[in-house]
Every structure is written in C-alpha cells, then in structure tokens.
Amino acid sequence: DLPAQAVSFTITGGVDSGLFQIVGNELQFIAAPDVEAPADNDGDNDYQVTVTA
C-alpha cells in the first residue's frame, strides 16, 4: 500500500471562476447565487469553472 497523500484543490480557470472559492475541500460560491438573476458569464445559470487537484 502507498502512504496517504494530501490533496489540495485550486481554481485554475473557467469564465465564471471569479464567482467561486475553495474552502477546505469544497467549491463554493463567494456570494449566494440568485436563480432569477444569473451572474454567470452568459446569463444562463450554467457556471463554468475548472478545478485542479
């Protein structure tokens, strides 16, 4: 067995990446989203963010 290794996560891209943060092992919105007023790049509530482990 291999020894356990720590994994860290980083937001590395995506047009909507500025709306997110990583807290511990969770990807979270910086501010709670409003389904009736999309804040994503193209306004369709489909957020694009890339996370690298």
The amino acid at 5? Q
Q: Which domain holds residue 29?
A: 10-52
- Total tally of structural domains belonging to the chain: 1
| pLDDT score, position 29 | 98
| pLDDT score, position 41 | 95
Inter-residue contact 23 to 51 (CB < 8 Å) = no
Please give the C-alpha separations between residue 17 and each of 3, 5, 6, 14, 44, in angstroms, as whole numbers: 33, 26, 24, 5, 15
Is residue 21 one of the residues assigned to a domain?
yes
Is residue 45 one of the residues assigned to a domain?
yes
pTM: 0.85
Is residue 3 one of the residues assigned to a domain?
no
Is residue 1 one of the residues assigned to a domain?
no
The chain-wide mean pLDDT, for the chain, equals 95
Is residue 44 one of the residues assigned to a domain?
yes
Query: 35: pLDDT confidence band, cut at 50, 70 and 90?
Result: very high
Query: 2: pLDDT confidence band, cut at 50, 70 and 90?
Result: confident
Mean of pLDDT values over 12-34:
97
